[in-house]
């Protein structure tokens, strides 16, 4: 390891030196704890008695070799403080941990799985002109064995792959995004309050099991993204908190040390902390072959505590820039996605040009405006008409990804289907029209599990999705509609190829506030699609749709039908008169001479 790089926040492979590393005749343990009085390693290999560690290099690192320590054995570091007390900590760089509520690290070998995804790695290419349809999910509550609750009902990583991959392919998703899998003590945190930043959660199996899951996904053409949490960590005293008897990873004062979630904020001004986090990011991409990372709570790195009134956090911004630049140098094809609710400019601009270096940013403004619009009754939508046109006034400032994520279906917010205005029967046509609008809008796509079949109950990490509602024809029809829409998106370049080129979008009509009609065109180099919507509760007769330079329209998909029906509409001087049912949307392929 480059010690100078570690201290200055330039190191991306600190995990190759720190942690427990299996050697030919035992295991070497190393940890960074500059303020500890002394440290011992305790574990199964020594009857949980202390094996002293020695100071190495500059005295801030500690090391020992234990001949009897083998893969799979549990261990901790007993860190003696300068006041004479001690506490047992799991390994900050540990590669595996016990299932909660236990908290020991497990010796685990790097390179313990032989990947077979060379073909995927060789051919896989990201690009703004590629389709990106992401299925966001929580591994422990997508499905459960027998539908039961409790940890015995979790599917393992490999069992999950057998069920999930065919589902993703059948439904038309080309990426899956997994909520955080780094070890965490509380199920209710969903993985966003970590104790083991290098340890895949043992809830669903071993590190090798997770690698096999990703390998199997790649074998079937599915990319895998993981949520990564570089802002804060769990307060549990056996983990990073007060690690060497002092605030080594966190701020020393509570006004900055505690986050809005009650967790500890990382102190990003310290090079050792930056090296810890960016090495962890590299670890998941390098060792597990993840195809990308979705960075959580980026606005809390851009601004102090995420509050614009407190000003910019230059250390946080610098950390993001250096991490993203380094990750792109190491993994040019990795997707780096920001969950950022701020209006800070240049999130998806290259670091060399002064930006933060992300590939995509979640469009939280689009999400809030769109859901607010669809929650309103039709008469109020007339006043809200331009909530749906506003996104295109700022869209080309960043490379946006449209997300209807887990955050929108919890905490009393209701599910996407339930958010639709009106009674039960009236919600389905609106939800179909909403998704048609979403997939026609420029930007890449993300949808949370359950949304695709009209989940009615808010997401609960303790229960699987309500798959039984697919026995109801209206939910089954909605699900089949979403399958058609997903596949149509992947198959038609006009819907993705020019997402971030202003030439790829043109308003056909955005001045129908009284009728709640919207029409726009998407295009690629060789294809044009006209999308038209009626978001009122009335039939809109005699609407004149004008599509310049077109000779005819071919219906591709409609929110009113369950299957695609061939329908050709001739254009006279680029115009046609159509009737739009209530709460409806349609895509037309534009034919030219």
Strands 196-200 and 182-183: antiparallel
> Which residues on adjacent β-strands are paired with residue 444?
401
With beta carbons less than 8 A apart as the criterion, state whether 523 and 588 touch. no
500, two tokens: 């971030």
- Check residue 564 and give its pLDDT: 56
| Host H or E run for residue 486 | helix 473-491
Assess whether pLDDT exceeds 70 at residue 255.
Answer: no
Between the alpha carbon of residue 510 and those of residues 369, 386, 389, 518, the distances in Å are 16, 8, 7, 5
> How does strand 575-580 pair with strand 223-228?
unpaired
- In this predicted structure, the answer to whether residue 11 has a pLDDT above a threshold of 90 is yes
Evaluate if residue 261 carries a pLDDT over 90. no
pLDDT above 90 covers a percentage of the chain that reads: 92
DSSP 264-309: EEB-TTSHHHHHHHHHHHHHHHHHH--SEEEES-THHHHBGGG-GG
Q: Which residues pair with 505 in a beta bridge?
A: 522
In the block, residue with structure tokens 């808010």:
458
Question: How high is the pLDDT of residue 128?
Answer: 95
Do 420 and 570 contact (CB within 8 A), yes or no?
A: no
Q: With 70 as the cut, is the pLDDT of residue 563 above it?
A: no
In degrees rounded to 5, what are phi and psi of residue 413?
-85, -15
Task: Indicate whether 359 pLDDT > 90.
Answer: yes
**pLDDT for the residue 567:** 84
Q: What is the pLDDT of residue 562?
A: 55
Q: What confidence tens digit (pLDDT) does each residue in 275-334 have?
A: 999 999 999 999 999 999 999 999 999 998 888 888 999 999 999 999 999 999 999 999
Nearest to 85 by CA among 265, 258, 251, 242: 242
Pairing of strands 335-338, 360-362: parallel
Query: What residues contact 200, with CB distance under 8 A and at least 6 apart?
Result: 96, 181, 182, 183, 206, 207, 210, 288
Average pLDDT over residues 533-561: 94
Q: If you average pLDDT over residues 520-546, what whole number do you get? A: 97
The span from the CA of 348 to the CA of 337, in Å, is 9
pLDDT in tens, 242-252: 999 999 999 98
For residue 137, pLDDT beyond 90: yes
Residue-wise pLDDT tens digits, 443-490 = 999 999 999 999 999 999 999 999 999 999 999 999 999 999 999 999
Q: 534, 496, 416, 468: which is closest to 175 by C-alpha?
A: 496
Q: What are the percentages of helix, strand and coil residues in the chain, rounded to 5?
A: 35, 25, 40
Residue with tokens 């690690």: 243
pLDDT, one tens digit per residue, over 169-192 is 999 999 999 999 999 999 999 999
- Structure tokens, 242: 């007060």
Which band of pLDDT confidence, cut at 50, 70 and 90, is reported for residue 80?
very high
C-alpha 390/C-alpha 553 separation (Å) is 27
For residue 227, give the H/E element and its range: strand 223-228
Cis peptide bond N-terminal to 24, omega within 30: no
With a pLDDT cut of 70, the percent of the chain lying above it is 99
Taking 60 as the threshold, does the pLDDT of residue 568 lie above it?
yes
Q: What's the pLDDT score for residue 565? A: 63
Label residue 148 by pLDDT band (50, 70, 90): confident
pLDDT of residue 246: 95
364-377 mean pLDDT: 97
Q: Which pLDDT score is estimated for 23?
A: 95
Burial of 43 per CB tally in 10 Å (0-12, 13-18, 19+): buried
Helix, strand, or coil here: 325?
helix
Is the distance from CB of 450 to CB of 417 less than 8 angstroms?
no
Which residues are designated catalytic?
Answer: 296, 339
The tens digit of pLDDT for each residue in 390-431 reads 999 999 999 999 999 999 999 899 999 999 999 999 999 999
Inter-residue contact 540 to 586 (CB < 8 Å) = no
Residue 212: count of CB within 10 angstroms of its CB: 20
Nearest Cα to Cα of residue 317 among 197, 395, 230 = 230
Average pLDDT, the chain: 95
Return d(Cα 378, Cα 188) in angstroms, integer: 37
């Amino acid at each position: 390891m480059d010690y100078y790089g570690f201290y200055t926040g330039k190191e991306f492979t600190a995990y190759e030196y720190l942690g427990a590393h299996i050697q030919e005749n035992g295991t070497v343990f190393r940890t960074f704890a500059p303020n500890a009085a002394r440290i011992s390693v305790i574990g199964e290999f020594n009857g949980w008695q202390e094996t002293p560690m020695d100071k190495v290099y500059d005295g801030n690192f500690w090391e020992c070799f234990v001949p009897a320590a083998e893969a799979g054995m549990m261990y901790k570091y007993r860190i003696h403080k300068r006041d004479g007390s001690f506490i047992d900590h799991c390994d900050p760089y540990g590669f595996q941990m016990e299932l909660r509520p236990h908290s020991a690290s497990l010796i685990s070998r790097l390179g313990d799985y032989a990947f077979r995804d060379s073909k995927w790695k060789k051919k896989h290419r990201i690009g703004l002109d590629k389709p990106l349809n992401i299925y966001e999910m929580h591994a422990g509550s997508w499905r459960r064995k027998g539908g039961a609750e409790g940890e015995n009902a979790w599917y393992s990583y490999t069992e999950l792959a057998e069920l999930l991959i065919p589902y993703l392919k059948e439904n038309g998703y080309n990426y899956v995004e997994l909520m955080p899998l780094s070890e965490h003590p509380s199920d209710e945190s969903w993985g966003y309050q970590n104790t083991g930043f290098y340890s895949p959660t043992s809830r669903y199996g071993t590190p090798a099991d997770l690698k096999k899951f990703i390998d199997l996904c790649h074998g079937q053409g599915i990319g895998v993204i993981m949520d990564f949490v570089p802002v804060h960590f769990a307060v549990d005293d056996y983990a990073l908190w007060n690690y060497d008897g002092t605030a080594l990873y966190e701020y020393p004062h509570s006004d900055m040390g505690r986050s809005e979630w009650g967790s500890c904020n990382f102190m990003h001004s310290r090079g050792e902390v930056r090296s810890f986090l960016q090495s962890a990011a590299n670890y998941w991409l390098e060792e597990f072959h993840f195809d990308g990372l979705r960075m959580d709570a980026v606005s809390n790195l851009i601004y102090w505590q995420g509050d614009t009134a407190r000003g910019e956090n230059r250390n946080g911004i610098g950390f993001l820039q250096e991490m993203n630049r380094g990750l792109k140098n190491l993994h040019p094809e990795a997707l780096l996605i920001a969950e950022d609710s701020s209006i800070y400019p240049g999130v998806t601009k290259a670091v060399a040009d002064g930006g933060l270096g992300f590939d995509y940013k979640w469009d939280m403004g689009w999400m809030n405006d769109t859901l607010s619009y669809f929650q309103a009754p039709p008469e109020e939508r007339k006043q809200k008409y331009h909530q749906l046109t506003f996104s295109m006034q700022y869209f080309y400032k960043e490379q946006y990804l449209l997300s209807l994520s887990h955050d929108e279906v919890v905490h009393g917010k209701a599910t996407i289907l339930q958010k639709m205005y009106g009674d039960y029967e009236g919600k389905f046509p609106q939800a179909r029209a909403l998704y048609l609008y979403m997939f026609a809008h420029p930007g890449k796509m993300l949808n949370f599990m359950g949304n695709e079949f009209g989940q009615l109950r808010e997401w609960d990490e303790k229960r699987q999705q309500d798959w039984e509602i697919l026995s109801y024809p209206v939910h089954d029809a909605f699900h089949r509609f979403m399958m058609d829409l997903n596949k149509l998106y992947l198959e038609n370049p006009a819907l993705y190829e020019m997402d971030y080129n202003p030439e790829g979008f043109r308003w056909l009509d955005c001045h129908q506030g009284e009728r709640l009609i919207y029409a726009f065109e998407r295009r690629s180099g060789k294809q044009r699609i006209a999308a038209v919507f009626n978001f009122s509760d009335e039939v809109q007769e005699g609407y004149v749709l004008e599509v310049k330079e077109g000779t005819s329209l071919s219906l591709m998909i409609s929110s009113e039908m369950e299957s695609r029906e061939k329908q050709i509409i001739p254009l006279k001087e680029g115009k046609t008169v159509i009737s739009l049912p209530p709460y409806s949307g349609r895509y037309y392929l534009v034919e030219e001479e």
